[in-house]
Amino acid sequence: MKNPVQQYLEEIVEACAGTSGAVADYIPELAEADPDRFALCLATVDGRVYTVGDAEARFSIQSISKPFTYALALQDSGKEAVAEKVGVEPSGDAFNEISLAPDSGRPFNPMINAGAITTTSLLAGEDGDERFARALEGFGRFAGRELDVDEAIYDSELSTAHRNRAIAHMLREFSILEGDPEDVLAQYVRQCSISVDTQDLALMAATLANGGVQPRTGEEVLDAQLVEHVLSVMTTCGMYDAAGDWVTAVGMPAKSGVSGGIIGVLPGQVGIAVFSPRLDSHGNSARGVTLFERMSHDMELHIMHVSRGSRSALRASFPLSQARSRRRRTTAEQEALDRVSDRCRVYELHGDLLFSGAESVVRSIVDDDPELAVLDFTHVNEIATVSRQTLIALRDRLRECGAEAVVVDPGEVIPDPDAGTDRATRRFPDVTSALAWAEDELIRRHCGDLTTSDPVGEHPLMSGLSDHASEVVRAALESREHADGEIVLEAGGDFSGVHLIIDGRAVACAEAPDGSRMNLVTMEPGTSFGELALGTEDVQETEIRADGDLSLLVLSADSIERITEDDPAVGLEMWRAMARDGYRVADKALRRGATRLA
Amino acid sequence: MKNPVQQYLEEIVEACAGTSGAVADYIPELAEADPDRFALCLATVDGRVYTVGDAEARFSIQSISKPFTYALALQDSGKEAVAEKVGVEPSGDAFNEISLAPDSGRPFNPMINAGAITTTSLLAGEDGDERFARALEGFGRFAGRELDVDEAIYDSELSTAHRNRAIAHMLREFSILEGDPEDVLAQYVRQCSISVDTQDLALMAATLANGGVQPRTGEEVLDAQLVEHVLSVMTTCGMYDAAGDWVTAVGMPAKSGVSGGIIGVLPGQVGIAVFSPRLDSHGNSARGVTLFERMSHDMELHIMHVSRGSRSALRASFPLSQARSRRRRTTAEQEALDRVSDRCRVYELHGDLLFSGAESVVRSIVDDDPELAVLDFTHVNEIATVSRQTLIALRDRLRECGAEAVVVDPGEVIPDPDAGTDRATRRFPDVTSALAWAEDELIRRHCGDLTTSDPVGEHPLMSGLSDHASEVVRAALESREHADGEIVLEAGGDFSGVHLIIDGRAVACAEAPDGSRMNLVTMEPGTSFGELALGTEDVQETEIRADGDLSLLVLSADSIERITEDDPAVGLEMWRAMARDGYRVADKALRRGATRLA
């Protein structure tokens, strides 16, 4: 089945295949480019690459080197040192204007030639050769492969670089460049001659889209903070004197080159590259600009496009009464929880907790004013610093009111500054265990001592029996002990009777669809296990293990058969009680499923 | 409990309360402003407003009027007509530079005075008075309340507006302005004198953040496309000659005014306004700039901040075997579904389906290649045009392969271009009904005729009985008919027996936590209802209705008691069968809950 995204990209490339514009001719080698070459490549932040047209045709990177040189200069020399030598203000000038601030000689920004020549000199290295090696290796990290130089382009370009030579010497005059300007110029021209194809550029752009992490190699090529900085400058200065038009019409940080390439970055989503050598009057690829305008419009890629999704990070919120742990409770506990369980609320968060998302979560919790708040971060990808701080502040406020917030955070997205101290936030690996804690805590806070004095007599299977039947059944109970971790019932075994927990806990485990083992239920004194096998053709489906030392009273399968045969009247009472118990468990389970699905 | 967001905002206002900068003095009235006033206001896109400091202090809007005048001009005169008169390119010049393109006299952009005076003339109205009335009413819609003019400021400003008067006449000279430039100038100065407080500005900004919809009134004040355009121009030109610094350091579309206000817009999240009359050398509020830099950094509000949340729109995807409808199936159907249910997959989408989100969904489906795909849009907020088109294309590709995609779309976020034709996409109001359809479809496609020939004999309650017991029970069954919609069992009634469905369907309904009625289960021939009441102290908890004409065979509560008393051996068999049935239903329900929670 053909991927519809691929199909769409092929269609728009066809729709934009006009023939306006002319190939750059100020450098003899560039004038020889095939004017009809046309390629589009789109790389997602998880490394999927879509290509259309001549995506493997090589060309020199030219001015698209500028944002990457700037990025490497920021990394090698630091933001402050770079800011001393080159500004970040749009100049409104064409790409080859000298554009230096009148007093300091500081180039307006790193996307015009003067600024780019300056940043070239700020890469790590003792001389032009070393700094060039740094650029070549750095660009390769962005692209995810080793790159090389088109020497013919380099020779051709260096011999005709009169204007750039003038700029370099002017920069030297103002001491913006230090050392030999010819050395920097040669390095600059060599950088512009690095050979790439459209896919390389798309992946370089996708690395910026991905916060500086190369989508395929996974390498952190650039610090995320510097990525923001580079993208900002590309937004205001990337398209020369057409920057304002570009921002309004396309709305994506971008950079074009005179060989016919344009890259665009949609933060968090994709990197896009187009290659078509025919240029418009601003020196940008004519078909490239058309294609970007079309894609931005169709695909709603404009950075100012208002996405309503960011409004709420709260996927759902509900009282404990609608969730309940899968811990089996005694009737007394269950009744107690029915009274107080609305005092605990669960908040399911999702997506990225940016400021506005965290704000809406905090507002909900402040409004609900729960006694226990379970914050479920399972589906949260990333959490902004301010969100983290705000949520910690919320936890502290809740504590001041005698309330408590706990987190479910299997991915450890929200580190706790108080970890290891007695102020640490209680953390749970899954919602079920958090709910079990919350139930225990509510019972502890509000329901006094619910320890059952007669776990056998209060069990639903026994409580409905006549005195005589109860006596017969009690007499048949066998006492058993299991040590922590012992398997009490094996999955796949035969029905072996009803197991009443007198002391300790047992857990039921099963294999998850992905093959892993998961704990389904934790069972406490007063509850029972084993009887569900009656519903599955006498096969015990789950494995039961002791969770700590475990004391049981067992009404074995043999005893059940014996009573049924020897004393049919008691047998009938017993089976009737089991039927009621079966439907009771069924009703509870169905009801829980229904509530949570609603 | 104090909201921690409020607390945070109070803290940063305190931290930024320096005293550098001086109040504007070029207009006598402005020089009288209290230099120590300081207010911060933050408005979310759903209308929650946080304020700190002198949030109700009034001041004249000054240059913060510019983006809103531009917005109204775009709406009144259209993008093209406005573009003829004023550009969108950053000029790199200060706010009061004349900055006209040398040939055409066209101002570079609408955020400098020359451009703003021009857009003022492009509002709807015959003369300055009418156009001013339009501006006042329009600004009021953004703020969500009626605004008025500070006449003292207006008089003071008009009498000293020498430079703006020069600009207006120069614009008239180039025919950028038509008619009397004094009329436009008076209107412009009046607009700048509109009186606002910090909360008004925050809500005006939040209206832009909210795609043009005023968060509190819900009015669509500006078309979403024009919002993108206005925000783009604010990004590149909003902060005068400090625009580049602002974009790199703050990274938010913004506008400042000489009276000390600054607004910032974070698309999709919040509008922010600061008021502090002391200005820096660029004419921007000194404490305002510091506060915005601090907030942008702390709160990660930079528009280029890469959010990983946009990576995937796919919340979960699983085969039908892990979901299953709540339709009760006969044993034969259940066995058939166990074989084929992996051919159907459910895709739960969430958030905004921007391009990259839709791409990841499409890629998953192409890779899985399911025979039936259920796309659940319940948690999708918004869907980009390209995503809609891509998903329709995917549906068509699936059809070509004999497969089918259906949607669950209660909020109708994805309209179907083929609605009403035989190519229409099948739509369901909830996942359960989609799953029921998918199960039926898989059975129809792969499992031949599964109609049960003996719905009574195949029921689990009967199939385990001895011949004698089966005969006794069958003899006790009573035939009943119900018309469509009839209530068969009332919620709250006593246990009234086991109801076997012979023909037609029945639905179980219950009250949802929010008071609405919801369908819990649909039951088909071969299944039964009523017996769950045995698990809830003989109380029927759900209401059962006929869904179409319904034929039943009922083993009444009286018959069950009679058999139990008259023929204890048969009674014992019957209760034993019910116990097994109870645990069978319990096991299934618990298992489903466990799988879906895993």
List the single best residue of B74, B88, B232, B585 to mutate versus A (max A Cβ within 10 A): B232
Q: What is the pLDDT of residues B410-465, one digit of tens each?
A: 878 888 888 888 889 999 888 878 888 898 889 888 877 666 667 777 787 887 78
Contacts for A58 with CB less than 8 Å, ≥ 6 apart: A150, A195, A196, A197
Share of chain B above pLDDT 90, in %: 45
Decide if B4 contacts B164 (C-beta within 8 A): no
Listed in order, strand segments (DSSP E) in A46-185 are: 49-53, 59-60, 148-149
State the nearest Cα–Cα gap between B598 and chain A, in angstroms: 7
> Residue B29's pLDDT band (boundaries 50, 70, 90)?
confident
Question: What is d(CA B286, CA B21) in angstroms, rounded to the nearest whole number?
Answer: 6
Q: What is the pLDDT of residues B224-275, one digit of tens each?
A: 889 999 999 999 888 877 778 888 889 999 999 999 999 999 888 889 999 9
DSSP state of A213: B
| Of B213, B230, B258, B413, catalytic | B258
How far apart are the CA of A532 and the nearest CA of chain B, in angstroms? Answer: 5
Across the interface, whether the CB atoms of B248 and A266 are under 8 A apart is answered: no
Q: What is the end-to-end Cα distance of chain B in Å, rounded? A: 35
> Residue B308, exposed/middle/buried by CB under 10 A (0-12, 13-18, 19+)?
middle
Query: Which of B257, B203, B243 is CA-nearest to residue B45?
Result: B203
Are B416 and B425 contacting, i.e. CB atoms less than 8 angstroms apart? yes
At B499-549, the pLDDT tens digits run: 999 888 888 887 665 666 677 777 878 788 899 898 888 888 888 999 899
Q: Which of B50, B52, B60, B63 is catalytic?
A: B63
**Of A367 and B324, more confident:** A367
| B309 contacts in chain A (CB < 8 Å) | 268, 351-352, 354, 381-382
A162-198 pLDDT, tens digit each:
889 999 999 999 999 998 999 999 999 999 999 999 9
How far A350 CA lies from chain B's nearest CA (Å)?
9
SS3 for B215-267 is CCCCCECCCHHHHHHHHHHHHHHCCHHHHHHHHHHCCCCEEECCCCEEEEEEC
- How far CA B582 is from CA of A584, B296, B315, B541, in Å, comes to 8, 59, 34, 16
In a mutagenesis test of the A interface, which of B590, B592, B595, B596 is the best target, namely the one with the most A β-carbons within 10 Å? B590
- Chain B contacts of A513, Cβ < 8 Å? 318, 321-322, 595, 598
Query: Which structure tokens are listed for A137?
Result: 């290796």
Looking at residue B122, its pLDDT comes to 97
Burial class (CB in 10 A: 0-12, 13-18, 19+), A191: buried
Residue among A389, A326, A382 nearest A359 (CA): A389
Q: What is the pLDDT of residue B413?
A: 85
Beta strands in A411-558 (DSSP E): 427-428, 478-482, 487-489, 497-511, 517-523, 528-529, 543-556
Residues of A in contact with B269 (CB under 8 A): 310-311, 354-356
For residues B86 and B109, is the Cβ–Cβ distance under 8 A? Answer: yes
Calculate the CA dihedral of residues A592, A595, A596, A597 and round it to 10 degrees: 120
* Cα A435 to chain centroid, rounded: 25
Is B258 marked active-site?
Answer: yes
What is the C-alpha to C-alpha distance for residues A228 and A555, in angstroms, rounded to an integer? Answer: 68
pLDDT over threshold 60, residue B595: no
pLDDT tens track for A464-489: 788 899 999 999 999 999 999 999 99
Residue B1 has pLDDT above 80, yes or no: no
Give the integer Cα–Cα distance in Å for B345 and B221. Answer: 42
Which stretch of A41-45, A230-234, B398-402, B456-460 has the lowest confidence by average pLDDT?
B456-460
* Active-site residue (options: B70, B188, B265, B325): B188
The residue-averaged pLDDT of B95-109 equals 76
Q: What mean pLDDT is predicted for residues A495-520?
A: 79
A contact test, residue of B250, B307, B368 with most A CBs within 10 A: B307
Q: pLDDT tens for residues B352-410?
A: 777 778 888 888 998 899 999 999 998 787 787 778 888 998 999 899 989 999 999 88
CB pairs under 8 A between A and B: 439
Give the closest of A400, A512, A579 to B534, CB-based. Answer: A579
Residue A49's CB is within 10 A of a number of other CB atoms, namely 17
Q: What is the pLDDT of residue A325?
A: 66
* 8 Å CB contact of A87 and B244: yes
Chain A residues lying within 8 Å of B315, measured CB to CB: 350, 379
Mean pLDDT within B575-583: 89
A239/A248 Cα distance (integer angstroms): 12
Q: How does pLDDT run across B134-175, given as a tens digit for each residue?
A: 999 999 999 999 999 999 999 998 988 888 999 999 999 999
Q: What percent of chain A has pLDDT over 90?
A: 45
For B210-235, write each residue's pLDDT tens digit.
999 999 999 999 998 899 999 999 99
Residue A293: pLDDT over 80: yes
Q: What is the mean pLDDT of residues B93-101?
A: 66
Q: CA-based diameter of chain A, in Å?
A: 112
d(CA A77, CA A66): 16
Query: Confidence class of residue A231 from pLDDT cuts 50, 70 and 90?
Result: very high
Cβ contact A7:A242 at 8 Å: no
Give the Å distances, CA to CA, from B542 to A588, B459, B580: 12, 21, 22
Residue A352: its chain B contacts at CB < 8 A?
A: 307-310
Q: How far apart are CA B40 and CA B199, in angstroms?
A: 8
**pTM reported for the whole predicted model:** 0.76
Residue A216 has pLDDT above 60, yes or no: yes
Contact (CB<8Å) B362/A3: yes
pLDDT for A316: 80
What is the DSSP-derived secondary structure letter of residue B62?
G
Q: What is the pLDDT of residue B327?
A: 64
Quick check: is B63 catalytic? Answer: yes
Confidence (pLDDT) at A544: 92
For B387, which residue in chain A has the nearest alpha carbon? A299
Averaged pLDDT of chain A:
87
Question: Using 50, 70 and 90 to split pLDDT, how confident is the model at A596?
Answer: very low
B387 burial via Cβ count (<10 Å: 0-12, 13-18, 19+): buried
Interface test with B, best of A240, A292, A310 (most B CBs within 10 A): A310
Q: Residue B596's pLDDT band (boundaries 50, 70, 90)?
A: very low
pLDDT in tens, B462-491: 877 888 999 999 999 999 999 999 999 998
Q: Quick one: DSSP state of residue B495?
A: P
- H or E, element range at A201: helix A198-209
- The band of A309, judged by pLDDT with boundaries at 50, 70 and 90, is very low
Contact flag A315-B108 (C-beta cutoff 8 Å): no
pLDDT value at residue B308: 46
Q: Residue B90: which of B237, B228, B229 has the closest Cα?
A: B237
How far A32 CA lies from chain B's nearest CA (Å)? Answer: 33
Which is more confidently placed, B20 or A156?
A156
Q: Tokens at residue A79, please? A: 């933001």
pLDDT of residue A598: 26
Please name the residues in contact with A227: beta carbons below 8 A apart, sequence gap of 6 or more: A71, A208, A211, A212, B304, B306
Q: Calculate the alpha carbon distances from B459 to A325, B235, B415, B456, B464 in Å.
A: 32, 70, 43, 5, 9
Going by the annotation, the residues of the binding site of A are 63, 113, 157, 164, 188, 240, 258
For A48-66, what is each residue's pLDDT tens digit?
999 999 988 999 999 999 9
Q: What letter represents residue A290's amino acid?
A: T
One of B193, B240, B296, B456 is an active-site residue; which one?
B240
Chain segment A420-477, per-residue pLDDT in tens: 888 899 998 888 788 888 988 898 888 776 666 677 777 878 877 888 999 999 999 9
pLDDT at A341 over 50: yes
pLDDT band at A324, cuts 50/70/90? low
Q: How far apart are CA A326 and CA A521, in angstroms?
A: 5
The ipTM (two decimal places) reads 0.75
With beta carbons less than 8 A apart as the criterion, state whether B131 and B68 touch. Answer: no
Residue B293: is its pLDDT beyond 70?
yes
pLDDT exceeds 60 at position A513: no
- The token pair that represents A369 in the structure block: 């004013």
Mean pLDDT of B269-297: 91
**N- to C-terminal Cα separation, chain A:** 36
B572 closest CB neighbour out of A391, A531, A568: A568
Which chain A positions have a beta carbon within 8 Å of B245's beta carbon?
88-89
Contact A306 B568 (CB under 8 A): no
CA–CA separation, A108 and A187 (whole Å): 21
Give the model's confidence band at A103: pLDDT under 50 very low, under 70 low, under 90 confident, else very high: confident
Task: Say yes or no for a CB contact (<8 Å) between B300 and A586.
Answer: no
Give A159→chain B minimum CA distance, Å. Answer: 33
Task: Give catalytic status of residue B240 as yes or no.
Answer: yes
C-alpha distance from A109 to closest chain B C-alpha (Å): 9
Q: A326 pLDDT band (50/70/90 cuts)?
A: low
Judge whether A406 and A439 are in contact, CB under 8 Å: no
Which residues in chain A are contacts of B576 at CB distance < 8 A? Answer: 564, 575, 579
Encode pLDDT of B561-573 as tens digits.
Answer: 999 999 988 999 9
- Give SS3 for B175: coil
Residues A308, B211: C-beta atoms closer than 8 Å: yes
How much is the pLDDT for B306? 64
Using only the alpha carbons of chain B, give its radius of gyration. 35
Q: Which of A243, A269, A572 sits opposite B90 (nearest CB)?
A: A243
**3-class DSSP assignment, residue A495:** coil
